A = this chain, B = another copy of it.
Amino acid sequence: MTLAVIAGSANEPLAASISAELGVKLHERLAQRFDDGELHVEIEESIRGCDVYVIQPTSLPVDEHVMELLFLADACRRAGAARLTAVVPYFGYARQDRRASGREPVGARVIADLIEAAGFTRVVAVDLHAPEIEGFFHMPVEHLSAAALLARAIRTTRDMVIVAPDLGAVKLAERYQAFLQLPVVVLHKSRLSGSAVALRTIIGDVKDRAPLIVDDMITTGATIEAAVTGLLDAGCKPDVSVLATHALFVGPAIARLQALSIRQLIATNSVNATAVPVPFQVVNLAPMLADAIARLHRDQSLGSLLAHA
């Protein structure tokens, strides 16, 4: 079974980097839009009998990237792919993992159903917003984590403290703690003291410490902004670092981040981000994803690449 790697258009640089790591040429493929906005995709080399990996984060514009992923699946399936894996470094719609009211969709489950309907038989994802999304798929989901990579990239100092900017990030903060051996503090936006107004409480001590805020993704930067404000109010050093897997940077994100005195801002290239100013540092996911693809292709255990490892 020959290995074939196909790049969707959502993150071609990442796909190119993965193919370079693997030492295989990306399969030629066409992906264009007609005047009426309809997508046309075509695989331009034979993939009959191949073990195919389609690389496509479902980042903005999310619906177009999802549809392209599905069309590529149908093209590969009908063209005789033997195994068909969706490599989705950033999985969009992940926050719609339950109904918050009685008459909403469970958006992440809809996307999972579409990916299964299109013919994929395995998914590779990185730092899913909610790990339960694995259970939205009937097929195997290989849930990888970039935490080890990001932890390796950060320059730590003795006075640093890891900050979970909300309760949802506590597990991730503890994962980083295992790598970095630093204390963890938690921000919690709640009415902990019973008052009518929601306050952002800091659990733990940040005084004279340099905060290292960790999260799974940065979208508009609002969470980071609020965290920095709260931390400074609490007497932290004005020397803030930020670690996140997914740098979506939508809307006012870049302006916001530039306005904050951030020393280090480290994220992966899961999303094809446009150039952002210093001090943004990009950790390349390609070696990890290439390693995962190589192991899957050779039927080897993914071991320590998995998010729950």
Please determine whether B103 and A110 come into contact, CB atoms closer than 8 angstroms.
no
Interface string of A50-72 (1 = CB under 8 A from B): 10000000011111101100111
Give chain B residues whose Cβ lies under 8 Å from the Cβ of A181.
Answer: 194
Among the stretches A33-41, A149-157, A231-239, A257-265, the one at the interface with B is A33-41
Binary contact readout A284-309 vs B (1 if CB under 8 angstroms, 0 otherwise): 00000000000110011111001011
Q: Which of A13-21, A73-81, A272-280 contacts B (4 or more CB under 8 A)?
A: A73-81
Are B105 and A38 touching (Cβ within 8 A)?
A: no
Residues on B with beta carbons closer than 8 Å to the beta carbon of A132: 97-98, 130, 132-133, 135
Q: How long is the Cα–Cα vector from A161 to B143 in the complex, in angstroms?
A: 39
- Output the nearest chain B residue to A252 by Cβ-Cβ distance: B35
Q: Tell me whether A70 and B110 are in contact in the complex, defined as CB-CB below 8 angstroms, given that A219-B35, A250-B36, A300-B46 are known contacts.
A: yes
Instruction: Report how far A82 CA is from B117 CA in the complex, Å.
Output: 20
A181 CA / B299 CA spacing, docked (Å): 52
Q: Within the assembled complex, what's the spacing in Å between the Cα atoms of A93 and B36?
A: 10
Number of identical monomers bound together in the oligomeric complex? 6
Assess A103 versus B42: contact at CB under 8 Å? Given A36-B60, A63-B63, A132-B97: yes
Query: A108 vs B300: C-alpha distance in the bound complex, in angstroms?
Result: 27
Residues on the B chain within 8 Å of A77, using CB: 140
A118 in contact (CB, < 8 A)? yes
**A138 CB–B CB distance under 8 Å:** yes
A109 near B177: Cβ-Cβ < 8 Å: no
Per-residue CB contact flags for chain A residues 26-50 toward chain B (1 = under 8 Å, else 0) read 0000000001111111111011111
| Contact, CB under 8 Å: A134 / B219 | no
A 112-154 binary contact with B (CB < 8 Å = 1; else 0): 1110011000100000001111111010110100000000000
A107 and B182 within 8 A (CB): no
State how many angstroms separate the Cβ of A270 from the closest Cβ of chain B: 13
**A251 and chain B: residue at smallest CB distance:** B35
A113: B residues at CB distance < 8 A: 117-118, 138
Which 8 pairs, one residue from A and one from B, show the smallest C-beta to C-beta distance?
A49-B299, A183-B194, A74-B105, A132-B132, A46-B301, A43-B103, A37-B60, A109-B135
